[in-house]
Amino acid sequence: MITKQAFEQVSPVEWEIPRGFREDMRVPVRVFANSRLLESALKDKSIEQAVNAATLPGLVGRVLVMPDVHQGYGFPIGGVAASKLPDGVISPGAIGYDINCGVRLLASSVSYTEAEPLLKDLASSLYANCPSGVGVKGSVPLDKRQLEEVCRKGAAWAMKNGYGRKEDLERTEEQGGLDGADPSSVGARAVERGRPQLGTLGAGNHFIEVDVIEEIFHPEAASAMGLEQGRLAVQIHCGSRGFGHQICSDYVHEFQSAVQRYGIRLPDRELVCAPLNTPEGRRYLSAMACAANYAFANRQILAHHARRSFEETFAGRLKGWDLHQVYDIAHNMGKIEEHTLDGEKVTVCVHRKGATRAFGPGFAGLPKEYLAIGQPVLVPGSMGTGSWVLLGTERSMAVSFGSTCHGAGRTMSRSQAKRTIRGDQLRQHLEDKGVRVRAGSMPGLAEEAPQAYKDVDAVVEVVVQAGIAAKVARLRPVAVVKG
């Protein structure tokens, strides 16, 4: 069991476990947390999992742990690790089964005060237009050839087929499509699962949420993003559905034998990996890109449905109902990026699992309106509290491979949440607080209760104090749709 004594305190919000803590560690582990959040992280196996992750071959710098960390499987949720090319590894379990799970934020000029009487209708319309739940079929069934196009083109495929606008792509990470996606690297079962599910939200912690922009902290950035205090915005949180889950599962199996071939010894079989310069490593990277592009297309289609709901609810009644895209960002992804480490430029594969890319000002991949301010970072909290819009910073580039937190982070198990919270009572409580709820499952709602999560404001304070993000705006939920 790892205790606080294992850490060296680097700053009020940075704690480091040195490489010598365990013989098999290849790099140190640095945790971004205040004292209270660190103690919370030590209650489960998050930090032990981060130490295990530090044994992956080819890692450089440090394994980084965000303040919203919680125990996952193999690699902690809220972890970042970078392996150096050409022979560093890629690990599917360090990216997660829901490849390119991420968040899209759209904003409107609709005033919350004026829209308030219509929010029930809006919630119902979103629930009707955006298919949600377990194994639910989507609004855009695909044949095999179309699925391959989605794999190659991502959100651009959705736009070409009438589900979006050109400017949506410009305001999406990687313009909504990763290079190198080769559908031949995807197995038959993943294709079977992926074909009917495009344009679905799924279940679990995925949601569509209508928020009011409660407070602006960075007027220049908020203006560039089109965020106005008191106006409505929409967050869409989902990923690559069964398509991505199956791809990850297939490669976790394939890599069980790859680690034996390449003589890689690991403390946990869920961390299986392959060097990026091997056929196995390259094939997974390509398959992961297919899943990532599917997820970008999925959120693009759901954004289209959200726009339909805004039009159905507000057109002819209120002005400014059109939704413009603020940004779309992944928080489960492996990316080939260039970073500076000890003054030297290195090309690395950055694994972010429950962590968000947070590139600072000047990054060439940003749309021109964000070049001077940095990349928007979207941090959804729990459905009863709030969410944040942040910015990547120069320090995030220097100390965290351009990464920051991704949410509030769980603190209570799902079974405990179900034992202590009743879904119907929670729904009533949220409705009383002014949050309209549309959910397919009351036990599922209970598992996602605000009490099951850390305080998102405390998480954000840590990343801001550490300098790996800057505040732009705080959002407050007014309607939630869950599967």
Looking at 321-412, which runs of residues are DSSP E strands?
324-330, 332-341, 344-353, 356-357, 376-379, 387-391, 403-404
3-class secondary structure, 322: coil
Smallest distance from other proteins to CB 286, Å: 17
Smallest distance from other proteins to CB 243, Å: 11
406 is annotated as an active-site residue: yes
**CB 292, CB 178: distance < 8 Å:** yes
Smallest distance from other proteins to CB 113, Å: 37
194: Cα separation from own chain's centroid: 20
What is the residue type of 274?
A: A
Smallest distance from other proteins to CB 307, Å: 26
Closest to other proteins by CB, 96 or 164: 96
Closest to other proteins by CB, 73 or 217: 73
Closest to other proteins by CB, 107 or 140: 140
Closest to other proteins by CB, 246 or 393: 246
**CB 74, CB 93: distance < 8 Å:** yes
Q: Which of 226, 5, 253, 212 is nearest to 116 (CA)?
A: 212
Closest to other proteins by CB, 445 or 475: 445
Phi, psi of 210 (to 5 degrees): -95, 130
Of 245, 305, 339, 406, the active-site residue reads 406
Smallest distance from other proteins to CB 197, Å: 10
Smallest distance from other proteins to CB 258, Å: 12
Give pairs for 263-266: CB < 8 Å, separation 24+: 264/57, 264/89, 265/24, 266/52, 266/55, 266/56
Binding site for other proteins (CB under 8 A): 44, 46, 70-74, 77, 93, 96-98, 133-136, 187-189, 192-193, 202-204, 242, 245-246, 248-250, 252-253, 256-257, 268-270, 272, 410-416, 441, 443-444, 483
Closest to other proteins by CB, 44 or 170: 44
Cα separation, 161 vs 418, in Å, equals 41
Closest to other proteins by CB, 135 or 219: 135
Q: Rounded to whole angstroms, what are the CA distances from 65 to 91, 337, 462?
A: 17, 19, 12
Cα separation, 48 vs 455, in Å, equals 23
**CB 269, CB 92: distance < 8 Å:** no
DSSP string, 422-455: -HHHHHHHHHHTT-EEEES-HHHHHHT-GGGB--
Structure tokens at 332: 């489960």
3-class secondary structure, 187: coil
Smallest distance from other proteins to CB 433, Å: 25
Please give the positions annotated as active site.
406
